[in-house]
Structure 1
Amino acid sequence: MTPSEKSANSDVDEPLYTVRVVAERVGVPTATLRSWNQRYGVGPPEHSRGQHRLYSETDIAVVRRMYELILEGASPRSAARTAVDSVRPARGDAAALLVAAFDFDVFTAGHLLDRHLRHFGVLDTWDLLIRPAFDAIAERQAQGESCIDVEHALSWTVTRSLQRYPIPAPAESAPIILACTPHETHTLALDALRAALVERGRGALMLGADVPRSALIEAVERKGRPVATMLWSQTQDTADVDTVNDLAARASVSVGGPGWDAVMDQIQAPRLKNLRAAVDYFVPD
């Protein structure tokens, strides 16, 4: 994005207009605008207690499009969804996501995530929005701020948005199994991988958190044909070398997550360093 493009994008996303001004410009009562904002997320996503909601030019464009669709006969809910999808959101606005997360405003956070996913896809949403938000939370924790609750709330919200991606029909290629190692409970990266694979027409079986070694082996054997697996470990304590090597004798195995840093020389599997690398590995060009 060039500096001029960035400046133009900032102008249309800058919150400047009160609900009364927007009502006069669009021809919709203020009470209706407030209802649309609360029920459908149409309007400004950020709101701090004691402050007025301010609309940007982008927000007004969404409101105007929703009003037009309603006049054409659409229901408010359908019109809201179409109007939101028709306007490109700010790309990688992690600051807005953080504000919503620290306010425990999961409605707004989910709204931001869903719009970004629809317009930019899983990979860009992960790299430009989700990861920067979690990095900022981790930095604040390192500085002594207690915000584990915020981290958990945001994790749940992100997972909910990613899990909206449908389960596609089985592909003819080797099935993909995604699982956390025994005692590992961090599934967010695997949820993102599954959603990114869906965007490319590939399904994956998600086994989720804390999968015992015996269950992983049984899942591979139950498929009865070649299987590609991905095992996630967030910490060194859950980097189960024996599980990887046992599974490698039965299927194609790869690993992901920082937990494998210290044991890569002990396992028989490639490490996929990030989400893009994992998608390229499972769905090569």
Structure 2
Amino acid sequence: MGLFERLRSEPVYNTRAVVRQTGVPADTFRSWERRHGFPAPARTDGNQRRYSERDIAAIAWLRDQTQAGMTIGQAIAHLRTLEPHVTGATVATAVARPVVSPNGAYPDALRQRMAHLRDVMVDALVAFDAAVADRAVEEALALLPLEEVCLNLMQPVLVEIGERWARGEVGVSVEHFASGFVIRKVGALFNLSRPDTGRGPLVAACLEGELHEVGLLLTCLFLSRRGFAIVYLGPNLPLRDLAQAVARVRAPLVLLSAATPPAAEQLIHASHELARLLPRQGEHPTPMIGFGGAAFIADPSLGERVNGVFLGTDAESASQTVERVLAAS
């Protein structure tokens, strides 16, 4: 159940009623409308604004977030991740979201803007400037759905910085700073996605020795937003601790990731060992294993040795594979 799902969506309240109920000046939420596309009130034949109960509740929620220290842009971006019913019916229709062509391409202006934001974010992270990087993410969230911001901004930025590190153009401190920034950003979005509710739960972890968690965390964010409950155990987890957690929550699927060949070898071993540690118990079958990561993308032959299902090359394909695998089980 979303924050405002039980509230009525019919636009019946005038501007004065919104001010009276929220305490937010009309000039303020009209400024939000002009700059961020929210709220998106209906209009009468006389061009007067009319707001719904959902609009009023969302305006009050945004008021509380800005009073707590968020910028209004950040608050609206978080509202989109937190409240799909409002964002689907109100925010998303108001913001100038791109029209995707049948081949998945974006309009030239949007594509160019996203390329610019990638450059800005890379330069900011190389300069250890989290504030500028954060503004780039915030602007992207106003242009694209969250999943596409992850795939078309944050992930390519990390790849570019990793390649610069490999060429010796930046130090490992830059790579660590950039990874930490993205982990914090994705982690905050993940926490807002209500990962404790939904189908499952699914358990996700990187095994002991594997510290590269960004790809796994992105997949968990995507799955949570698709309605799955996620028990996220993070990096560097011993196998027996993983088995205990899976057994306790009776997860139907375990998500594992490996970025390097040594980590992939450990994942291969774990995929077979988990079958021994987690035998079928009555009506609860041995959980399936879904795996991915850079090591398996670079060398697909490694995946042939895993007792599990390769999820795909990015968080979106992984989410689709999880849906398909669980639907067939």
| Aligned equivalents of 2:65, 2:248: Cα separation in 1 | 47
Give the deviation of 1:191 after TM superposition.
Answer: 1.5
CA contact (8 A) 1:101 1:150 kept: yes
**Residue type at the aligned position of 2:151:** D
Name the SS for the 2:158 alignment partner: helix
Compared CA separation, residues 145 and 197, structure 1 to 2 (3 A): same
Give the deviation of 1:105 after TM superposition.
Answer: 0.8
Compared CA separation, residues 119 and 197, structure 1 to 2 (3 A): farther
1:179 aligns with 2:202: no
- Residue 258 of structure 1 is aligned with which of 294, 297, 300? 294
Give the deviation of 1:184 after TM superposition.
Answer: 0.3
Give the deviation of 1:283 after TM superposition.
Answer: 3.2
Compared CA separation, residues 111 and 91, structure 1 to 2 (3 A): same
State the partner residue of 1:101: 125
CA contact (8 A) 1:178 1:206 kept: yes
| Aligned equivalents of 1:280, 1:83: Cα separation in 2 | 28
Q: Deviations over 1:116-172 (max 9, x none)?
A: 34652343122211222122223323333133222211111111111122234432x
Name the SS for the 1:135 alignment partner: helix
State the partner residue of 1:272: 311
Compared CA separation, residues 222 and 112, structure 1 to 2 (3 A): same
State the partner residue of 1:141: 165
1:81 aligns with 2:104: no
CA contact (8 A) 1:254 1:272 kept: yes
State the partner residue of 1:91: 114
| Aligned equivalents of 1:142, 1:207: Cα separation in 2 | 29
1:228 aligns with 2:268: no
Unaligned runs of 5+ in 1: 1-60, 66-73
1:245 aligns with 2:272: yes
TM-score by length of 1: 0.65
| Aligned equivalents of 2:176, 2:271: Cα separation in 1 | 28
Compared CA separation, residues 76 and 219, structure 1 to 2 (3 A): closer
> 195-204 vs 228-237, which deviates more?
195-204
Q: Deviations over 1:166-186 (max 9, x none)?
A: 234432x33111100221011
TM-score by length of 2: 0.57
Give the deviation of 1:219 after TM superposition.
Answer: 1.1
| Aligned equivalents of 2:309, 2:141: Cα separation in 1 | 28
State the aligned residue count.
214
Compared CA separation, residues 221 and 91, structure 1 to 2 (3 A): same
1:206 aligns with 2:243: no
Give the deviation of 1:110 after TM superposition.
Answer: 2.0
State the partner residue of 1:110: 134
Compared CA separation, residues 100 and 207, structure 1 to 2 (3 A): same
Name the SS for the 1:94 alignment partner: helix
Give the deviation of 1:194 after TM superposition.
Answer: 1.7
TM-align CA RMSD: 3.0
| Aligned equivalents of 1:100, 1:232: Cα separation in 2 | 28
> 90-99 vs 153-162, which deviates more?
90-99
CA contact (8 A) 1:113 1:161 kept: no
CA contact (8 A) 1:231 1:254 kept: yes
Give the deviation of 1:76 after TM superposition.
Answer: 11
**Residue type at the aligned position of 1:132:** P
| Aligned equivalents of 2:95, 2:319: Cα separation in 1 | 28
CA contact (8 A) 1:168 1:198 kept: yes
Compared CA separation, residues 145 and 174, structure 1 to 2 (3 A): same
CA contact (8 A) 2:291 2:310 kept: yes
